């Protein structure tokens, strides 16, 4: 069970949004590479990075910040936001990313996702962001008619390494992860699922260790870490103990 600290990039800075609204951004660190190194020193073993500007633009916007993060940390990094072509995927993997997260393109062009999985085995994750149970795309600006489960099932057997499932209605407001929907999704597919959106306290960390959450790969934490609501040492110790 992995706890992924999140670095969301807006205009080159490390921020957190509230409910996915770009106008509701709080800057936590003007130096994302410094933040990545801080997370590594705290004992985290992975890093979750999102290019927020890129998600809206449909192409990488915070490339220099991402490259600085990759240079600063030894930890594997997964990146989402604006990655829409095979060439773009290949470019980022060559720069040292451990995993590329495909979101909008998973709805728009699922065949590209399947091709990417064949070409880059173990390196492709799918980001499923849902509002009211329906998948949102284009930086959450548009909501599709697809349910999260319908989209996830499209990629069964394709070689997707993980699904990052975000409940937009909880993102950035510290109300706790939507465990019911997340575990329901994990039970519907064989692909490992990572919970995202709303992780608020050590209660969520303890919830990660319960038997019905065992199929999850982990969860992502943003604001709760930045605001000091979760002590990294304590959180990682809980997960380590549960792992045995």
Report the run of H or E that residue 66 belongs to, with start and end.
helix 63-72
Six-digit token string for 57: 């633009």
Per the annotation, the verdict on 11 as an active-site residue is no
Six-digit token string for 91: 């470019």
Residues 8, 51, 167, 204: which is the catalytic one? 8
Report the run of H or E that residue 108 belongs to, with start and end.
helix 104-108
Measured distance CA(34)–CA(45) in Å, rounded: 16
Six-digit token string for 46: 């992975």
Measured distance CA(84)–CA(71) in Å, rounded: 24
Residues 11, 34, 109, 129: which is the catalytic one? 129
Per the annotation, the verdict on 8 as an active-site residue is yes
Whether 161 contacts 122, CB under 8 Å: yes
Measured distance CA(177)–CA(200) in Å, rounded: 7
Backbone angles phi, psi at 188, to 5 degrees: -85, -15
Six-digit token string for 178: 């939507």
Report the run of H or E that residue 4 belongs to, with start and end.
strand 2-10
DSSP letter for 161, please. -
What count of Cα atoms within 13 Å lies in the side-chain half-sphere of residue 130? Answer: 25
Measured distance CA(244)–CA(20) in Å, rounded: 36
Provide the 3-class DSSP secondary structure of residue 214.
coil
> Which amino acids are annotated catalytic?
8, 129
């Amino acid at each position: 069970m992995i706890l992924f600290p999140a670095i969301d990039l807006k205009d080159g800075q490390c921020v957190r949004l509230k409910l996915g609204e770009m106008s509701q951004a709080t800057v936590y660190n003007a130096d994302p590479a410094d933040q990545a190194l801080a997370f590594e020193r705290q004992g985290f073993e992975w890093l979750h990075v999102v290019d927020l500007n890129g998600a809206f633009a449909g192409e990488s916007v915070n490339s220099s910040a991402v490259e600085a993060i990759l240079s600063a940390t030894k930890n594997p990094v997964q990146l989402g936001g604006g990655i829409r072509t095979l060439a773009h995927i290949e470019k980022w993997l060559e720069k040292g990313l451990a995993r590329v997260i495909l979101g909008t393109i998973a709805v728009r062009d699922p065949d590209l996702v399947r091709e990417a999985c064949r070409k880059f085995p173990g390196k492709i994750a799918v980001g499923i962001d849902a509002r009211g149970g329906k998948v949102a795309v284009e930086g959450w600006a548009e909501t599709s008619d697809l349910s999260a489960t319908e989209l996830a099932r499209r990629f069964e057997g394709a070689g997707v390494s993980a699904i990052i499932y975000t409940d937009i209605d909880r993102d950035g407001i510290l109300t706790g992860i939507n465990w019911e929907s997340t575990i329901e999704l994990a039970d519907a597919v064989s692909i490992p699922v990572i919970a995202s959106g709303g992780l608020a306290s050590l209660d969520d960390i303890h919830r990660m260790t319960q038997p019905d959450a065992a199929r999850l790969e982990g969860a992502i934490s943003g604001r709760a870490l930045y605001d000091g609501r979760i002590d990294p040492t304590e959180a990682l110790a809980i997960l380590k103990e549960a792992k045995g």
